[in-house]
Amino acid sequence: MSKFEITNHSFTASINQILEKHFGEYANDVFEASPLLGYLNNKTKSANRGSKARGAFANHYALYVVIEDYLEKGFLDGKANIPYSKYEGARFSDLFRRQRELPFGAKLQNHGLNARLNDEFKKFYPTVGKPPIVRDVESQRYWFQEDLLLVQIRQKNGKDVTYNIAEVVIEIIDVYVATKRAAFEGFLEACRKIAELGKENPEHATEFVIQQLMPNVDARVFEIVSYAVLKARYGQQTVWIGDAKESVSEEALILYKTGRTNANDGGIDFVMKPLGRFFQVTETIDVSKYFLDIDKVQRFPITFVVKSDETAQQIRSAIRVQAIAKYKIEAVVETYMKAIEEIINVKDLIEAFSEVVKSGNLQEVMDEIVIQSKVEFNYSDEEESEVENV
DNA sequence: TCACCATAGCTTATTCTATC
DNA sequence: GATAGAATAAGCTATGGTGA
């Protein structure tokens, strides 16, 4: 009976819980004796990292659908009347369809079933020598490696017993998926609310937007909402610009988002045309963060959108105090301070927003928030209904 | 011709690692 | 501890085979 090492991470506790429910005092023995559980443990590291973590479902679902077929066809409870080794196998199309029905699985490919799960398992456990998924390319039938489901451990009385972990694997993946979904739900709920509120109940909508600008909301929500508000606000303002004095024309200020919030860590968040202003959304007034970002653009002036209730003056002087502590030399501090073009705090955002509402452009802000939210989470309307249905 | 399946190459984003 | 670059993972697209 060989033992496999278990690397602990935040989701490991959830796996332990499930194992204890099924195997009581032998939970840990089962865990250590099963490379399949070890593999799952390894593949669930991202579970509690929140919605910022990239989704990982392909190989999990490959496991899931084949084992689900094993259970449904009655090979665990004996209803199948034949041993698994005599089973004709699951059809690719059925497995493929099933994995796409699962939450977040709508766009999964065949890779997990065909190669990637087996390859990765082999990489993690090169000595096991048994691929989790067994298939016959010619007949296009799929089986699970039953040996990996049967876990033998020695009880305290010296007897060897074999446990089948098929149901446990399904349960672990279910909990993993539920955890991943929970991370998305709060935010999605907010987005749906916004979409509905805008048209039917402008007053509530206004209230809602203001709530999303409070210092305690999620950083991504804050960035999206502040973008939507500022874009609408600047869109109402114009400048006169042209090649020569005689040929100037009036142009509206347009604010662009330079990338997805999550994919743009440390980068510049918004850019304004035609004035070429840079905007950086930030939560902290930690001086090193400001100056780090300023360094990136060689002290090009930046407007900071700060998730803070303090006034622009307060923020600016707080930064100055920190800057002096860090750089000592007054002249250096001055050049850095000059690079802070403007500070927009929560109060400024709310003011900008009420200007927008006053001029009847509330819906514009609402729509922008919904669009940006969907981009943020790779959400198309199709998928949205997909998830709702589950 | 079409549906279905397999495979490979490519793109993008995340995580790891070496270096200072 | 910050950073850049390498390594890795997941998903998309293209392509080709097969059998009805």
Give per-residue pLDDT as tens, A268-290.
Answer: 677 888 888 878 777 655 555 55
Q: What residues contact residue A77 under an 8 Å CB cut-off, 6+ apart?
A: none
Task: Name the one residue in this structure whose structure tokens are 């930046």.
Answer: A302
3-class secondary-structure state, position A365: helix
CB A145 within 8 A of CB A155: no
Looking at residue A105, what is its pLDDT? 74
Q: State whether the beta carbon of A7 lies below 7 angstroms from any atom of strand B.
A: no
**Average predicted confidence (pLDDT) for chain A:** 76
| Closest alpha carbon to A60 in A147, A161, A178 | A178
**Letter string b/e over residues A123-162, b meaning 16 or more CB atoms within 10 A of that residue's CB:** eebeebeebbbebeeeeebbbbbbebbebebeeeeeeeee
Alpha carbon separation from A215 to A47, A345, A347, A366, A369 (Å, rounded):
26, 10, 11, 20, 18
Q: Which class for A73: exposed (0-12), middle (13-18), buried (19 or more C-beta within 10 A)?
A: middle
Q: Which of residues 109-138 of A touch strand B (CB under 7 A)?
A: 109-111, 113-115, 135, 137
- Report which DSSP code applies to A91: E
Q: How many CB atoms lie within 10 A of CB A314?
A: 14
A224 against A357, higher pLDDT: A357
Query: Which residue approaches B4 most closely, CA to C1'?
Result: A93
Looking at residue A152, what is its pLDDT? 93
Residue A263 has pLDDT above 70, yes or no: no
3-class secondary-structure state, position A17: helix
Residue A388 has pLDDT above 50, yes or no: no
Q: How many CB atoms lie within 10 A of CB A9?
A: 16
Q: How far apart are CA A135 and CA A131, in angstroms?
A: 10
Of A226-235, A260-269, A317-326, minimum mean pLDDT range: A260-269
Of A44-53, A128-137, A368-377, minimum mean pLDDT range: A44-53
Highest average pLDDT, of A163-167, A244-248, A335-339, A365-369, comes from A163-167
**Distance between the alpha carbon (CA) of A74 and the C1' atom of B16, Å:** 43
DSSP codes of every residue in A142-193: EEE-HHHHEEEEE-TTS-EEEEE-HHHHHHHHHHHHHHHHHHHHHHHHHHHH
CB A84 within 8 A of CB A70: yes
Strands A90-91 and A238-241: unpaired
CB A372 within 8 A of CB A281: no
Q: How many CB atoms lie within 10 A of CB A366?
A: 23
Q: State whether the beta carbon of A53 lies below 7 angstroms from any atom of strand B.
A: yes
Of A34-43, A117-126, A147-156, minimum mean pLDDT range: A117-126
- In the structure encoding, which two tokens stand for residue A43, read together? 């593949």
Q: What is the mean pLDDT of residues A224-231?
A: 84
Q: State whether the beta carbon of A375 lies below 7 angstroms from any atom of strand B.
A: no
Name the pLDDT band for A359 (thresholds 50, 70, 90).
confident
- Our CA angle for A100, A39, A5, nearest 5°, is 165
* pTM given for the model: 0.62
Looking at residue A25, what is its pLDDT? 93
Q: How far apart are CA A141 and CA A91, in angstroms?
A: 5
| Closest alpha carbon to A55 in A180, A149, A165, A141 | A180
Nucleotide nearest the Cα atom of A52 (by C1'): B14
